[in-house]
Amino acid sequence: MKKKKDRDIEKGYTVKQMVAKLRRLADCLENDKPFRIQIAGEIINIPSKAIFNIEHEREGNTEEVEFQFKWKRN
C-alpha cells in the first residue's frame, strides 16, 4: 500500500456548500455510516467509528472553532 503524504489543508466553502456538507455529515452520524468528502482534490473516507471533537482556539483578537474527526488508517 502506498504511504500517504503528510499535509495540512484548509479549504473554504460558501454557506450553501457548508450547509449541504453538514447535512450529509449529520445523516451519516445518525445512521452510523462513514462520511466521504473531497478536500482539495483528495477524497477522504471518515469511518463511522472515528472520534469526533470540537476545538476552540483564541489568539489576540482572532477566534477559531474546528470540528474534527480523528481515526487510524489501516
Q: Domain boundaries in the chain? A: 15-70
Cβ–Cβ contacts within 10 Å for residue 27, how many? 11
- The rounded distance, in Å, linking the Cα atoms of 17 and 25 is 12
- pLDDT exceeding 70 applies to what percent of the chain? 97
pLDDT over 70 at 1, yes or no = no
Model-level pTM greater than 0.85?
Answer: no
What's the length of the chain? 74
Chain centroid offset of residue 59 CA: 23
| Three-state secondary structure call for residue 55 | strand
Query: What is the per-residue pLDDT for 43?
Result: 92
In the chain the first and final C-alpha atoms are separated, in Å, by 10
